[in-house]
Amino acid sequence: MEVVFLNLLNRSITAGWLILAVSVLRVILKKAPKTIRCVLWALVGVRLICPFSFESVLSLIPSAETIPQEILYVQEPAIESGVSTLNQVINPIISKSFAPNEGDSVNPLQTVVYISSVIWLVGLLAMIIYAGVSFLRIHGKVAASMQLTDNIFICDYIDTPFIFGILRPGIYLPSVLVGEKAVYVIAHEKAHLKRHDHWWKPLGFVLLSVYWFNPVIWVAYILLCRDIELACDERVVRELGESDKKAYSDALLFCSVSRKMIAACPLAFGEVGVKERVRSVLNYKKPTFWMLAVAAGACIIVAVCFLTNPKKEEQGENISVMSEEMVGETDDTDAAAEDINAVEDSDTVQTESIDAEIAELLDTIAAPPEPYMSAPGDYIALYRDEYDKLTEYGEFTLRYCFTQFLMGEQTDLRGHIMKSACEDIMESLGEPRLEDSVFATGQDWFDAFRANAESLERRYDREELEKNYPASWQLIQTLQKIRQ
């Protein structure tokens, strides 16, 4: 559940940048058709629903994953907001407050995220219950309605007209609504049906229920409800003509009601932003071609810049620097490349030989269990000479063990021996250990170590990482070679 919550949290953060952009465009494109606003909110919905996105150099999203999944396991938790100033302010606070202490069986952030995910689930259930109660309450009120036509009903127990139902929607009018005003109201509600607003608003509420913890999503939902009504008003006025503006505005004022809570359903005529809607109706003018072109272009630009993720930084520079150090610095790029190939060819035989010896040493230490031996330390003590030789190989042993762990399933005694050897070598290189008490197997330790190394890679440059975390740097190099 924690993984789901972190995914939703990251998705809501990236969608927040899009919501900010849409809010700004609502002001800039004030004279554009209000339908454009609905299209922009549809892009927000896509960002919230879609579990993946494409990378683009044009993306304006600072970070695709502000809170990385591995933050739950690393020794120095940190966010990656994509804004360096924000990272510099927040990360020291997070590291100081949530860094695991020696002897802790659980990372403090795991507890915080677990409790947060439970609270999120309770909030989601509360939103669902609220929607269900609203539905039942309205269903009870319209149960005694009188049918006028196929999908138009009159009811004595409602104060404002609305559409009720998703698969078979009906238009419900208060019994006090008669004459010319009823004609305009019905035209408005039919416009809602033509636009399928009785689908889009409930979908918006579903997304609000899932992302209820983000206040920006609440703002987006409120603005969506207003823009749905504004777009529908424009459609009615465009179809009725200029002469009906004032009469239609009077109908708006007549049917307006005060709502203190956001309704999950229905789509009520006169429900939100009546003053803004009346002003919009009275000032409506048919948009020019250029305004339509600008609005359409804005939608395309927003989609390209905010529905895509930023490209990850290329690691090729680090690889080339490492290769140059293996053969010595040179200004001649072609000569350096030839030297690298020559070194790699000559080292292959030696590396394979050392790998074979390391594998043999591990096989010897992790021999079939003895009846009186139960802990990995017992095997290390029994085969101390072999273990010491294993650790003497240093970075060769690290590279071999990392490769084995990357294959997975190192959950047996051999995995424990490799974990112990890696930790002893790391300590000799000056890199701090991970907390041992939280790892049941060697594979569990490596998975946490890898997450920590990748987190360190994002936080430090090559020189700092290689100097202060040499084992993590070697793992990063190994991963880069595998990706190639």
**Per residue in 351-409, pLDDT tens?**
677 888 888 888 888 776 555 555 777 778 888 888 888 888 888 888 888 888 888 88
Cα dihedral 283, 195, 184, 33 in deg (nearest 10):
10
At 151, is the secondary structure helix, strand, or coil? coil
Helices (H) and strands (E) counted in the chain, each on its own, are: 19, 7
Task: Determine the Cα–Cα distance for residues 441 and 447; give it in Å rounded to an integer.
Answer: 10
Task: Determine the Cα–Cα distance for residues 72 and 56; give it in Å rounded to an integer.
Answer: 28
Mean pLDDT of the chain: 80
Task: Determine the Cα–Cα distance for residues 436 and 70; give it in Å rounded to an integer.
Answer: 17
Helical H segments across 196-332, by residue range: 197-210, 215-240, 245-255, 274-282, 289-306, 316-327
What is the distance in angstroms between the CA of the first residue and the CA of the last residue of the chain?
34
Task: Determine the Cα–Cα distance for residues 272 and 226; give it in Å rounded to an integer.
Answer: 6
Neighbours of 117 (CB within 10 A): 18
pTM listed for this prediction: 0.66
Nearest to 173 by CA among 185, 161, 183: 161
Question: Which residues touch 68 (CB under 8 Å, ≥6 apart)?
Answer: 79, 80, 455, 458
Radius of gyration of the chain, Cα coordinates, nearest whole angstrom:
32
Task: Determine the Cα–Cα distance for residues 42 and 33; give it in Å rounded to an integer.
Answer: 15
What string of pLDDT tens digits covers the 484 residues of the chain?
Answer: 778 888 899 999 999 999 999 999 999 988 888 899 999 999 999 999 998 888 888 999 988 888 887 777 777 778 888 888 888 888 888 777 776 665 555 667 788 888 999 999 999 999 999 888 888 888 888 888 888 888 899 988 888 888 888 888 899 988 888 788 888 888 888 998 999 988 998 899 999 999 999 999 999 999 998 899 889 888 888 888 777 888 888 887 777 655 544 454 544 544 566 777 787 787 778 888 888 999 999 999 999 999 999 876 533 333 333 334 333 443 444 444 454 444 445 455 566 778 888 888 888 887 765 555 557 777 788 888 888 888 888 888 888 888 888 888 888 888 888 888 898 888 888 888 776 556 778 888 888 888 888 888 877 778 888 888 888 888 888 887 776 6
DSSP-derived pairing of the beta strands 152-155 and 55-56:
unpaired
Burial of 158 (0-12, 13-18, 19+ CB in 10 A): buried
Answer whether 44's CB lies under 8 Å from 61's CB.
Answer: no
Please report, for the chain, the start and end positions of each structural domain, with discontinuous segments joined by +: 2-306, 316-483
pLDDT of residue 325: 39
Answer whether 320's CB lies under 8 Å from 480's CB.
Answer: no
